[in-house]
Chains A and B, each alone.
Chain A
Amino acid sequence: MSEASSEGELVRLALKGDENAFGNLVELYQRAAYAVAYSVTGRHEDAEDAAQESFLVALERLEECRNPDRFGGWLMTIVRNRSKNLIRRESLRETDEIPLGATSRSPMPDRVAENTQIREILEGALRKLPEVQRQIVLLHDLEGWKHREIADRLGLPSGTVRSHLHFARKVLRVELGSSPLGAEIHRKVQ
């Protein structure tokens, strides 16, 4: 059975309420959904919420997935829309006053703290990219998706994906290379 037809079969089974089939779909796309949500929201908590909610929305509207073999692309559209809605809601909430001490955090182990620092640098670098380039670079270099898969799921020509990836990597290399921690990451990888 091909990947596409098995994906279609999982959708058809999920339509009938098959728990295992839906669970497999979640497992298949949870990382990609998170990556796409993260590329839009830029925050772990928001990306998590948007990705999880997107699976529930997808299940509720599964009849609207006209081509079950292309469930991935359809899901990614839901993830992008949910993420954008979440940002819109967040920006409305941000006008509220933040209570004193609400942002304080409990002490973290060194490694987690270090990762947090690296994460902040990465987040800053990713923010320099247009949304579509963030999606592509995360799906390609974080999730290991192929050009063809990204093009298929995001509804973009393969050449456009290549071009976006090329420019996204270029920007990220410059941004990460210019920060002290970026150099540290570079040293570690070497």
Chain B
Amino acid sequence: MDWTKGREGREGDLGRDIELEEQLRVLDPSQDDTGYWFRFRGWVMKEAADELARRRLAVDLTVEDLLESWSRTVIPVALAAAIAAIALMRNSPNDDPKVFLAVGVEELLVREIPAQTQPVLLSPNAAEGIVAFALDIY
């Protein structure tokens, strides 16, 4: 750092006392050790590293940043889901009767038919029943 820093333009000041300035310079630790202030800063920065890291971490977890990160991931997914839901709602069930018709026929075919095993159905007596008749026709 420049020793003359801040010495210019001291309007209204008492002015410089060069002699006293020279004498006081002896108190500057960098007079006998040129790297003093560099090391001073280095020591402070080393000791401050944990606190600075903690602050960076805390900043990463602010509500603002959470919302920002959500805007990058959750919101597009939510939008896609909403669009898909709207598309599904527009295709109401009445618009596609075939699906329900197919189910209806299936239901119709098996409704009120007692559960019977394959050997029973294929037995000689089975032909007497309505179900067997229907199966034959089908």
Contacts and interface: CB of A to CB of B under 8 A. Distances in A.
A83 to B, nearest CB: 15
Interface stretch (B49-57, B88-96, B129-137): B49-57
B118 interface: no
B122 interface: no
A176 interface: yes
Contact of A56 (B12, B21, B28, B47): B47
B45 interface: yes
A19 B50 CA distance: 11
Contacts of A19: 45, 49, 52
Contact of B6 (A14, A119, A138, A143): A143
A90 interface: no
B19 A31 contact: no
A52 B40 contact: yes
Contacts, number: 126
A148 B41 CA distance: 26
A126 to B, nearest CB: 8
Given A189-B19, A189-B23, A144 B3 contact: yes
Interface string A130-166: 0000000110111111111100000000100010011
Interface of B: 1, 3-7, 9-10, 12-14, 16-29, 31-32, 37, 40-41, 43-45, 47-49, 51-59
24 contacts: A15-B55, A17-B52, A17-B56, A18-B52, A22-B48, A22-B52, A23-B45, A26-B40, A30-B41, A34-B29, A48-B29, A52-B43, A59-B48, A59-B52, A112-B32, A119-B26, A122-B24, A137-B20, A140-B13, A144-B5, A146-B9, A158-B12, A169-B14, A172-B20
Given A119-B26, A147-B14, 10 more contacts: A14-B52, A19-B45, A27-B1, A34-B40, A52-B43, A52-B44, A52-B47, A55-B48, A122-B27, A186-B19
Interface of A: 14-19, 22-23, 26-27, 30-31, 34, 38, 44, 48, 51-52, 55-56, 59-60, 111-112, 115, 118-119, 122, 137-138, 140-149, 158, 162, 165-166, 169, 172-173, 176, 182, 185-186, 188-189
